[in-house]
Amino acid sequence: MPEWARVDERVAAAGFGQAVRALPTAISVVLRLAWRTSPRLTLLAAFVHVVSGCVTAFGLLATANVFTALLEQGPTPERVLQSLPAIAVVTGSYAARAALDAARAGGFRVVEAEALLGLAAVEAAAGRWLLAEGTARESRSLYRAVGHGTGEAVAAAFLAELAGRATG
């Protein structure tokens, strides 16, 4: 049995306790890789996660205010009118959360595009031109999707260099 299959077997056989004990190591590996790839984006992702959590907590408190306003005694139309500002706050907090989630996803996509472009370079160095080209195209499309013009230009230049090698 190949070594990679043995690793899969060990992972599949791991119990809950073993998985929890391995979590700090896995997190540190991911954080080190992210930091090496882009310290700025790693800090930005951490900041966005914290702010997103704060916005979520604020949204939950605002939701509690809405329910308080709706459930206190008094005629129903008056309660609904009194709760409109709180409903607006809830809506705004969830809209802010959605914007933060989109920003976080965009940052992760940039890191993914950078990793793919690095992988394309490895494939090219190994002479696997078709794999290099496909991976570089995927990287370029990710850069394009998040509006990262510099990354898209680098990926396009890499693709041009690959095309030059193929014809040269």
Sequential pLDDT tens for the chain (168 residues)? 666 566 667 767 778 888 788 888 888 887 887 788 778 878 887 888 888 888 888 888 888 877 777 777 766 777 778 778 878 888 888 888 888 777 777 777 887 888 888 888 888 888 888 888 999 999 999 889 888 888 899 999 999 988 887 655
Q: What is the span of the domain harbouring residue 85?
A: 42-167
Whether residue 110 is contained in a domain is answered as yes
Whether residue 88 is contained in a domain is answered as yes
Whether residue 10 is contained in a domain is answered as no
> What six digits make up the tokens of 5?
């299959």
Instruction: Name the phi and psi angles at 165, rounded to 5.
Output: -70, -40
Whether residue 102 is contained in a domain is answered as yes
The domain total for the chain is 1
